[in-house]
Amino acid sequence: MGVLGKKRKSLVFDMHPLLLVQDDVRFDLSSVFYCKLCITLKGIKVDDLETNHFVLVHGGGFGAWCWYKTIALLEEAGYKVSAIDLTGSGVHSFDTNNIKSLSQYVKPLTDFVEKLPEGEKVILVGHDFGGACISYAMELFPHKVSKAVFIAAAMLTSGQSTLDIISQKEGSDDLMQQAQIFLYANGNDHPPTAFDLDKSLLRDLLFNQSPAKDVALASVSMRPTPFAPVLEKLSLSDLKYGIVRRFYIETLEDNAITITLQEAMINASPPEKVFRLKGADHSPFFSKPQALHKLLVEISKIL
């Protein structure tokens, strides 16, 4: 029976477009309702999409390795997937403490996008600090980006830095603040060059819903995050960054970028559509890989 074919006690539209809530069950009506020029074609073939190429950009401390489940699922579904190691991340050998700017940090991503064949577009996916990184690339190459997906990510407005966002949630009981270990490669009388995370707090902060084997992988794979790029304020224009279609995926059990902070970023710069991952921690590629995969596929098919 169809969604509306049975009498219900409650029928409430969620605050985000194209989501219907009935008795605490969410139904995606994107194939039924036409809203803000946003329509999803459920039967469309991957090869018929504007682009079937996802470019995955990790967050601070992570690397391309964190996407291993997402890569496998998307490739099995017929998509092309590229996961980028940003400078000093993953297997990239550069010393994190020597990264002086956001442009230096995101250079592997901007080089990749710049070298795309003429006319080829990609879907950029950014997690955590990767949101600021894909925003930087969107400003440089708006016509090479079909869509941008922010997953529990820093989605900034022009003139904001990632530190500005993080500072909104800091308090004496803030888990992120407790977990940060600042590194001073230039001496304690100079600003920090990077920050690491206390491994004893990793599970509670980033992986509170994730399998133990993925927490173990992260604990031996994560590297420090360069500090200078986190301080840098982005310059984003309506004529470049503003023309790229943006989508946000909220993670409802997130202890690093809380749902309150995610909603604040969404309200400050509303994307085209917002999705919610119930039961997802800050690392949904570990905690909710199948659900995340389905949302990425759905976003790829939105016309």
Under the banding of pLDDT at 50, 70 and 90, the label for residue 47 is: confident
Q: Tens of pLDDT along 212-235?
A: 999 999 999 999 999 999 999 999
- 243 or 44, higher pLDDT: 243
d(CA 59, CA 57): 7
Q: In what order do the strands lie in the sheet with 194-197?
A: 180-183, 194-197, 225-226
Residue 254 a catalytic site member: yes
Catalytic residue among 128, 214, 281, 293: 128
| pLDDT number for residue 255 | 95
Treating both helix axes as pointing N-terminal to C-terminal, what angle do 289-300 and 68-76 enclose, rounded to 10 degrees? Answer: 50
Check: CATH 3.40.50.1820 for 49-300?
Answer: yes
Under the banding of pLDDT at 50, 70 and 90, the label for residue 186 is: very high
Q: Give the start-to-end residue ranges of the domains of the chain.
A: 10-39, 49-300
In this model, does residue 171 exceed pLDDT 80?
no
Q: Tens of pLDDT along 121-140?
A: 999 999 999 999 999 999 99
Question: Cα–chain-centroid distance for residue 120?
Answer: 22
d(CA 220, CA 217): 6
d(CA 175, CA 226): 19
pTM of the predicted model, to two decimals?
Answer: 0.85
**Alpha-carbon distance values, 77 to 40, 52, 130, 160 (Å):** 17, 10, 24, 37
- SS3 labels along 232-279: CCCCCCCCCHHHCEEEEEEECCCCCCCHHHHHHHHHHCCCCEEEEECC
In this model, does residue 33 exceed pLDDT 50?
no
Residue 111 a catalytic site member: no
Residue 23 a catalytic site member: no
In this model, does residue 23 exceed pLDDT 60?
no
- Token pair for residue 264? 């604040």
What is the dihedral sign for C-alpha 285, 291, 293, 298?
negative
In this model, does residue 270 exceed pLDDT 70?
yes
H/E stretch holding 138: helix 130-140
Catalytic residue among 58, 254, 281, 293: 254
Catalytic residue among 58, 127, 282, 293: 282
**Pairing relation of β-strands 145-151 and 225-226?**
unpaired
Under the banding of pLDDT at 50, 70 and 90, the label for residue 244 is: very high
Under the banding of pLDDT at 50, 70 and 90, the label for residue 170 is: low
Q: Tens of pLDDT along 50-107?
A: 889 999 999 999 999 999 999 999 999 999 999 999 999 999 989 999 999 999 999 9
**Alpha-carbon distance values, 152 to 23, 57, 194, 231, 235 (Å):** 26, 12, 21, 19, 21
| pLDDT number for residue 173 | 59
- Looking at 91-95, 112-116, 276-280, which range is the least confident one? 91-95
- 89 or 172, higher pLDDT: 89
| pLDDT number for residue 176 | 87
**Closest residue by Cα to residue 129 from 81, 170, 86:** 86
Mean pLDDT, rounded, for 177-195: 94
